[in-house]
Structure 1
C-alpha cells in the first residue's frame, strides 16, 4: 500500500497480535454479573474498540442485539437482550460515559446513536477510524474490511454478513465473526493517529468528531427538521412546508410511541399530499388518493389537528423553501471550475474531495457571491477553509487564476487579477 508520498506502507500488527480474553472472563456475556466483571476489566484500559449488531427493519428504534468490545488484551461479545432480560446494563452505560476512556468505532454514526439513546448522552471522547482514514489518504467512507486488508494484509470472512443477529442461540462461528469487527480497531487507531500527527491533521479530525457529536446529539432531540428529509418537500410553498413540518413531527411522535417504522404510521407521499392539499374535514381525508380508511379511522383527528395548527401560523413562522430557480449557464460553468479546483487541492493533500464540499455546497457558494450574501457552509469553516475554501473564494474574486501545466497536465493556481 502506498502512502501519501508514494512510499510503501507495511502491514501493521494487530493490537497485541490478537485481543485475548482471559480464561476467567467469558467472551460471550449473557448476564449482569458477567457484564459487571467485564466492565471492571475494561475500565483499566485508556480506550475501547466498539461495534454493535442490531436489527432495525421493523421498529422505530433499532433493536440492539450485540455489543462487541475489545482492549489490547481483552475481547468480549455482550448479548444485549439476554442481559437486559435478567438484569441491568447501567454499568455499561456508565462506562460509555466515562470521559477518561476513549471509545473507538469504525463508521460509528449508528453505534453512537444507539449508545446515546441508551446511555442518555453521547459517549465521548470517541474516535472514528473511517473519518480519520479519509483524512490521511484512504478514501471517503472506506470499509472496515478494506482497511484491515490494506493495513494488516488480512482478508476478513464474509460468511455471516447477512446473519439474523436476533436469532438465538448464536454459534461459536457467529460470535467469532462478530469479534472480528473490533479485533483490529485499536491497532488501526494507533496507525491513523500517527499518520494524522505526521501530516499535521490531528486538529482536523477533532473538528470532524465535534461535528459528528453535534449531529448525534441533535438527532436525539425533538425532530423539528425531519420534514426536510421527505423527498419533494422543497417543491411546496412555504405554507405547505409548514403543514408538512407539523405532520412530520406528529408522525415521528407516533412512530416512537408505537416503536414502528415511520412508513408504517404513514408514508412520505401521503404526508406530502396532505401538505399540498390540506383537508378540512375527516370526509376530505377519506377522499384523498392513497389515504386508506383505516388510516383515517386511526389518525384522522390527530392529522386534522396538526394541519389546523400549521395553517394558523403567521407567515413569519413558515419554513424557508429553497428557490426553484435553475442555475444559469454561467453559474454552472463557474461551479464546474470550482469542482476542478477542489479536486486538484484534494489530490494534492491526499484527501477525498467529498470530504471537503458537495456540488450543492459549491452551487450555494457561487450564488452567495453573486448575491453578496453571507454563507454558513462547511467549506468556509475550520480545516476545510484552510485547505480549499480560501482558494475557492480567491478564484471567485479573481485573485487566483487557474491554468493547466503543460508538462504534467495538472491544474495550477496562479496569483492573478480580475
Structure 2
C-alpha cells in the first residue's frame, strides 16, 4: 500500500477505540498479529504451498501490495500480503518467482478486499492477478461519509484499534526485508476482513450497498491512466519563459525519464524538477556553465552532464515548428474560470449544476466527487444536448454521462439535476 494511504493498525481482540474511566481516556490498543509473523514466501515451491492453503480457506481474501515509490522507476509489487479465514497471513515476494499461476488459480472466484484499490490493482495486474470480485474499504468509507478514510483511521474508528505509522515510505525493494517492515506490512491485512464486514453492514443500513456494488464492479476493470505530455507536470515549469525554454524542459524531462527507466530509479533521484527548471531558464551551452548554475543539482547532475548539455543545445537550435506550445489544445472544456468570458450561459449551467450536486452530496452524506466525477459534470455542462425538451434533454444527459463512464446510481441521482441546470440557466438568460 502506498505511503499516502497507509496508516497504523490494531488487533481484532484489543478492545474499544476509547475507554472512559473516572480519571482519564484510555487510548485505543495497538493492533498486533494474532498468529505471529509468518515467513516470506519467495520460491516456486513455497508459492504452491501458500496457494494451496489460501484455496483451502473460506470467505474473502484481504490483499495488499508494497511498492518502492520514491525509490524505483517501476510500479512493480515487491511484496504481496494476503489473509483469509482458515489460511492465515501469507507474505509473498514475487521478485524471484518464475510464475504466479498457483496464486492466480487459488484466488479465482474469490472476493478481494483492498484498501485504495486503484493504487494496488495495476501492480497486481502486472503479475496476472485480476479480481473476480472486490470490496474497497477506502471507497466504502467515502460512500459512508467518513471524513477521513486512511486505513489506520478507519481501523481505529470502526474497529477500535490503532496502527503503527512507521515504514510507510520504506524502500520495499530492499532485500532482505527487515522483520519490523514485514510485521508492518502484515498488519495491513490483519483486520481487512473484519473492517470489510463492518463497513458492508453500514452500507446496507444507509441504503448504499447497491452504490458500492456498482463502484466495486467498475473498479475490477480499472487501469492506470496514461498521461499525455507528462513533462508538462514538471514542478515550477511556469517560471520558464519562451518556447525554447519549454523545449528544454521537455528534452531534459524525457532524457531524465529514459535514464531513470534504464536504471530503475525514481526520476527525481537523477535530477530534481528544480534542476530542470533552472537549466531551462538559462539554457547554458557547455558543461561548466551548466554545472555552475545555482539550482542545477542532484546525483546525476554531473554524471550525465554530457546528456543534459546535448539536450539543451538541441533545444536552442531546433526549428521553430518543432517547439512545443505553451498551452496545448485540450480535448475537453476550458478551465472553469474562463467560462464566464467564453460562454456565460455555460458558466451559469456549471454554477447551478455544482450547487445542486453539492447540496445532494451533503444531504446523502457523501463527497460530491464520489456522487459525480467533476470532469463528467464539466463536460456535460459545457456541451449539453441541443434539445430543450425536458424529457429528451434528460435522456441526452443520461447518454452523455453513460458515455463518460458514470455508474448507474450516479446517473439516476444527478442526471435530473443537470437537466434542471441546463433549463434554468437558459431561462435566466432569457429573462
Q: Give TM class, smaller chain.
A: 0.5 to 0.7
CA contact (8 A) 2:284 2:312 kept: no
TM-score (norm 1): 0.65
CA shift for structure 1 position 49: 0.6
Task: Report the 3-state secondary structure (helix = DSSP H, G, I; strand = E; otherwise coil) of the residue aligned with 2:231.
Answer: helix
Distance 1:47 1:308 in 2: 60
Distance 1:169 1:108 in 2: 24
Query: How does 1:213-292 map onto structure 2 within 5 Å?
Result: 213-216=221-224, 218=225, 224-231=228-235, 248-271=253-276, 286=290, 290-291=295-296
1:391 aligns with 2:398: no
CA contact (8 A) 2:83 2:189 kept: yes
Map of 1:347 onto structure 2:
362
Query: How does 1:88-99 map onto structure 2 within 5 Å?
Result: 88=97, 90-91=99-100, 94-95=103-104, 99=108
Residue number among 48, 51, 54 corresponding to 1:36 in the alignment: 48
CA shift for structure 1 position 88: 1.6
CA contact (8 A) 2:381 2:418 kept: no
Residue number among 144, 149, 153 corresponding to 1:142 in the alignment: 149
Task: Report the 3-state secondary structure (helix = DSSP H, G, I; strand = E; otherwise coil) of the residue aligned with 1:157.
Answer: coil
Residue number among 109, 122, 127 corresponding to 1:113 in the alignment: 122
5+ long unaligned stretches in structure 2: 1-11, 14-31, 388-396
Distance 2:322 2:373 in 1: 34
Q: Deviations over 1:74-93 (max 9, x none)?
A: 2224262xx74xx5262378
Distance 1:390 1:36 in 2: 53
Task: Report the 3-state secondary structure (helix = DSSP H, G, I; strand = E; otherwise coil) of the residue aligned with 1:71.
Answer: strand
1:67 aligns with 2:77: no
What RMSD in Å do the two structures reach over aligned CA positions?
5.1
CA contact (8 A) 2:47 2:102 kept: no
CA contact (8 A) 2:380 2:401 kept: no
Map of 2:406 onto structure 1:
381
Map of 2:111 onto structure 1:
102
In structure 2, relative to structure 1, the CA distance for the partners of 1:178 and 1:207 (3 Å cut) is closer
Distance 1:29 1:345 in 2: 48
Map of 1:27 onto structure 2:
38
Distance 1:200 1:162 in 2: 31
CA shift for structure 1 position 105: 0.8
Task: Report the 3-state secondary structure (helix = DSSP H, G, I; strand = E; otherwise coil) of the residue aligned with 1:103.
Answer: strand
1:157 aligns with 2:166: no
Query: How does 1:130-209 map onto structure 2 within 5 Å?
Result: 130-139=138-147, 142-152=149-159, 154-158=160-164, 160=166, 164=170, 166=174, 170-171=178-179, 175-193=182-200, 196=203, 199=207, 201-202=209-210, 205-207=213-215
1:299 aligns with 2:302: no
CA shift for structure 1 position 142: 0.8
Distance 2:424 2:232 in 1: 36
Map of 1:58 onto structure 2:
71
Aligned length, in residue pairs: 371
Distance 1:349 1:257 in 2: 49
In structure 2, relative to structure 1, the CA distance for the partners of 1:62 and 1:399 (3 Å cut) is closer
Task: Report the 3-state secondary structure (helix = DSSP H, G, I; strand = E; otherwise coil) of the residue aligned with 1:127.
Answer: strand
In structure 2, relative to structure 1, the CA distance for the partners of 1:298 and 1:275 (3 Å cut) is closer
CA shift for structure 1 position 298: 3.3
CA contact (8 A) 1:52 1:64 kept: yes
CA contact (8 A) 1:36 1:91 kept: no
CA contact (8 A) 1:48 1:104 kept: yes
Q: Deviations over 1:63-118 (max 9, x none)?
A: 855432100122224262xx74xx5262378528954233221123332233234x
5+ long unaligned stretches in structure 1: 1-12, 402-416
Of stretches 44-53 and 87-96 in structure 1, the one that deviates more from structure 2 is 87-96
Distance 1:336 1:116 in 2: 40
CA contact (8 A) 1:255 1:265 kept: yes
